[in-house]
Structure 1
Amino acid sequence: MQLFLFLVSVCLLCLTHVCAERDYVLELAQAVHRHGARSPVVDHNITEICGFEFPCGFLNREGQQQTVQVGHFLRHRYTADETVVDPTHPFLPDELYNLTVAYSRSSNVPRTLQSAEGVLRGLFPNMTHYYPAILAETTTTDLLLRADNLAAIYADTNFAKEELKEVCNPVADAEFPDGTLLNQIAAEVHSDEFCSNPKKRVSCAKKLCDIGRCYQTTGRLAEDGYPLLREHLPELCTVAACVNRFKSSFNASNPVHVLQGSRGQVLVQEILHNARQKMKGKNTYKFMDYSTHDSTLRPLAGTLGDNSDLAMMPTFATTYVFELLRRATAAEGSTEVGDYAMRVKRGHPGVTPDTNFEFAWDDFELRCMRAAGDVYVAEGNVCPLEDFIRFIDSSKPTNAAGLCYVDPVLLARMKCPADAEETKEVLNSDCKLYRQQCPSYACGDGYRLDGVDYGCYKSTKSASPGRGVGSLVFFFFLGAALTIACLYVIKRLYKRSTQNRYETVATLEESEVAAVV
């Protein structure tokens, strides 16, 4: 009897857990993932470091497996995981790829395009009719999935190198107090010349971390020949995490960050837009996938409030999943924000071949914000939608330019001052790119941006908004007066023409009468 009661209690607890999870109905799933494992990205000793089968920077066989595993995991989650769906009515019942069900967008880079296809292969295992449509934008203009193109990040990456050294040189020195050790590690992977300059020790450590992680995924790191790289990979990646945090994190006590806003805002606002469209019945997709780079995942983590080493060093195929949930008690098709919640989870496939690259969640904690302004960690990573939006909006920019706002010091180094006089020289490519991306904010007060040569020129007769409005009103009334005058002249001409016609007709009639008589 006691055993029976115990079993009943266990069943009730399990049912309670499932029911608690099922307090919500899944409406939309959105995934943002890094590409799978690739060969290292280097410009030196390419053949020795990358080999021939998969050129430098290309998705390798292990990376292909990782992305398919992401898709397999999500397929199980949305068809058979009782804590997420009712298996008798799965969220994604069809094994065939369907354009009306799944949306896929990628950065315009081979490894991310291939990774997007890999996820879809795992998600829709029936290959009978598999012709995926993966959207992509030109690399230089993609601001959604190439966060490194955003003006603020681009400026920090290319023109804040001295500030970066001030922050990360001490980290490198703490991890490698013996300066010769970095050179010894570099020699194992044909990078001793690249790492020969002590002033570039941070860049050296970051590059060695990337090579080590690439070799780790293929199993090459475990082979003989890389004992120092294998032993010191964690320290190398600690230095790399410092660099990534400098470029991607959000610090509310940093006045420039506050002006710019958190650096993942563009992507998170896209995700929220998709959710709102779903609530309005204007988004027919069930699954939306974004295939991107670690340089985009890091700012995303910062906007979600996670600046940890794990967030700043996402492994290959790391995936964030955003699930729009409707309360089970809410009417289907409800547009009320209060009827919805957002669940956000993060995970990644295994990083070594012996794991079979199986996917698992990590310990990411979702943060939310109540109306009173207090931040809390969501239970089960589920936030009421309004609290999730409130937290995201708390790191929106305070300057209208947002991520187009660039520290004036960096603009000067870019040789792209906002208040420049008429430029006789040809603009450098960095300045031109900035002004193309941010035309409304590229020139200072009293200057205008020329749409042809992208120079900042002094404005003419538009020193104040009042004068501009006055000119507009003057020309409006001038145009109206000219229109009235033209109409008056036309009317007089028409009247005179009509009168002359009548006089001519009368004369002809009199002549005809005289002839008859």
Structure 2
Amino acid sequence: MVSATGSEINHSGHVPLDVENYPVAPSMLRLEQVHMFIRHGERTPVSVRMSEAPANIPSAWLLCKEGRKFEAAVANLTGSSTLRVERVVEKEDGSFESGECLLGELTDVGRKSTYNFGAALRSLYIEKLNFLPDVVQSDSEVYFRSTNLPRTVESLQQIVHGLYPPSKQAEAFVSKIRTRNPKDENLFGNAAACERLKTLMLKFAQAATIAWNPTLEPLDGKISKYIGGNPVRLDGKPRASGILDTVRAARAHGIRIPAAFHDKAIMDPLVSCIEQSLPHVLIVLQEKAVVEEWFSGYKTEEVRKLAMGRLLAETSRKMNQRVTEDGRNPLKILIHSTHDTAIAGLLGTLEVFDDRWPDFTAAVTFELFKETLDSKPAGSSLMRFLSSFTALMFKRSTVDVRARYQNRTLVLPLCQKVRDHLGGHPEFCTLEAFSRRVKELTPNWEVECVVPGHR
């Protein structure tokens, strides 16, 4: 068992939102809307792996004490009332221990990190930028959506609580956490609802297995003893992705992992003398193989369209609504709680993926700006003139989109032409260029999801 108390917990599993070093936009730009896609907080592994000696990674994690006790609204014949409840995980013999987590469950560490993320959003968009209202009045101002899994729903609840704690909510305000039915879900590549996407993803996974399994063979001597003597393979038992899942989850919670899994160097693991540096690069090598297995399909236009096209189309539509309904659309921030596959999928689709597995609370953000050439901050006249001249000469849009990931501003390949970004700032794509590319990525879902020869 592992305790969630004391100094054992270390938060290396996520990258906190950096408010202090947030790059403020040029003075002629006014922030209009923010779209955030956030991976859930730290969780337990989705399966029990490496629990036997010599790995000894716990099979049961006592990291879910917070949130286990709560009051639930119940209905009875005389009206509604509250019921005090504590959820527990029962074993086959009927025993249980308070605070034990389910497999794949958001832990107390994950609850804290997602709450902190929400609090950082408050510090940034309310206190620093004065963009969002200090007190939220209506759900027309904010939009919260999650995939329909407990760990993402609970992560979003924690984020909302950090962004708008009860003292900063109007009396009549109720936070609406939106979820969708499986067939309508687009917050990840929904292969279950698209047969063609399922076929493609399987094909790329199989290709990665053929390409990478021989490369993983040298790891057997170092890792096999931790996985029941089995070889390390993408399709092994456990799968390489499963090993990576358990190791990353354990590391995020300060749980001891075998020394061979510590990534002590950031380097190319495919060096010719890999044996010389093997203890340092095992996890990096595994990660590269698993990333290839899961995300190599995003190098193709068809996978990009079927996996992320609908989500990007919805995002682009809401941005354009904000612009065309100027002054009549109060929606300023949209927060989506999702998964690592969605984060990597978005980055891959936009051709800015760094080939590293997304951390817990990793976030992709799209910020929508409108150019206000009538603003007159000190020293900005030349910049306003150049921006106005560029817009006139190239008939450039005066609405821009900036993409960010893990506190880094991204320069998107889709807007590298002069007319497609703000002069001197290639990171600010015109909304026109962004929307044009998204239109190319938008699938005819019902038609394109059909596998040829199948119905």
Name the TM-score class by shorter chain.
Answer: 0.5 to 0.7
For 2:159, the aligned partner's letter is V
Q: 1:226 to 1:127 in 2, by over 3 A?
A: farther
Structure 2 residues not aligned, in runs of 5+: 1-22, 52-56, 63-99, 263-278, 376-394
Cα distance in structure 2, aligned partners of 1:318 and 1:103: 19
Cα distance in structure 2, aligned partners of 1:92 and 1:48: 43
Summarize deviations over 1:289-316 as a string: whole Å, max 9, x none: 1111122222212221224313xx2111
| In the alignment, structure 1 residue 344 sits paired with structure 2 residue 403 | yes
Cα distance in structure 2, aligned partners of 1:38 and 1:31: 20
Percentage of identical aligned residues: 21
Q: 1:56 to 1:199 in 2, by over 3 A?
A: closer
| In the alignment, structure 1 residue 165 sits paired with structure 2 residue 209 | no
What is aligned with 1:27? 32
Aligned with 2:300 (options 214, 226, 251) = 251
Equivalent residues, number: 348
For 2:101, the aligned partner's letter is F
What is aligned with 1:227? 259
Q: CA deviation at 1:95?
A: 4.3
Secondary structure in structure 1 of the residue aligned to 2:46: coil
Q: Is the 8 A contact 1:262 1:302 kept in 2?
A: no
Q: 1:178 to 1:33 in 2, by over 3 A?
A: closer
Correspondence 1:420-459 to 2 at 5 A: 442=455
Secondary structure in structure 2 of the residue aligned to 1:147: coil
Q: Is the 8 A contact 1:37 1:214 kept in 2?
A: yes
What is aligned with 1:298? 344
Q: Is the 8 A contact 2:43 2:106 kept in 1?
A: yes
Q: Is the 8 A contact 2:188 2:345 kept in 1?
A: no
Cα distance in structure 1, aligned partners of 2:339 and 2:408: 19
Greater mean deviation of Cα atoms: 281-290 or 377-386: 377-386
Q: Is the 8 A contact 1:30 1:287 kept in 2?
A: yes
Q: 1:403 to 1:219 in 2, by over 3 A?
A: farther
Q: CA deviation at 1:51?
A: 2.5
Secondary structure in structure 1 of the residue aligned to 2:397: helix
Structure 1 residues not aligned, in runs of 5+: 1-17, 187-191, 348-360, 409-416, 419-441, 443-517
Cα distance in structure 2, aligned partners of 1:48 and 1:185: 13
What is aligned with 1:117? 157
Secondary structure in structure 2 of the residue aligned to 1:343: strand
Cα distance in structure 1, aligned partners of 2:137 and 2:44: 29
What is aligned with 1:59? 106
Cα distance in structure 1, aligned partners of 2:309 and 2:401: 16
For 2:300, the aligned partner's letter is N
Aligned with 2:334 (options 281, 288, 305) = 288
What is aligned with 2:187? 145
Cα distance in structure 2, aligned partners of 1:166 and 1:386: 37
Larger Rg: 1
Q: CA deviation at 1:366?
A: 2.6
Correspondence 1:148-227 to 2 at 5 A: 148=190, 149-151=192-194, 152-157=196-201, 159-160=202-203, 164-186=205-227, 192=228, 195=230, 200-201=235-236, 204-220=239-255, 223=256, 226-227=258-259
Q: Is the 8 A contact 2:48 2:59 kept in 1?
A: no
For 1:210, the aligned partner's letter is D
What is aligned with 1:368? 414
What is aligned with 1:94? 134
Q: CA RMSD in A?
A: 3.6
Cα distance in structure 1, aligned partners of 2:167 and 2:332: 20
Q: Is the 8 A contact 1:150 1:403 kept in 2?
A: no
Q: CA deviation at 1:401?
A: 5.5
Q: CA deviation at 1:379?
A: 2.9
Q: CA deviation at 1:92?
A: 1.5
For 1:37, the aligned partner's letter is E
Q: Is the 8 A contact 1:185 1:229 kept in 2?
A: no
What is aligned with 2:430? 384
Q: 1:325 to 1:300 in 2, by over 3 A?
A: same
What is aligned with 1:78? 125
Q: CA deviation at 1:380?
A: 6.1
Aligned with 1:276 (options 320, 329, 339) = 320
State the TM-score, normalizing by the size of structure 2.
0.67
What is aligned with 1:478? none
Q: CA deviation at 1:150?
A: 4.4
Q: Is the 8 A contact 1:367 1:377 kept in 2?
A: no
Secondary structure in structure 1 of the residue aligned to 2:32: strand
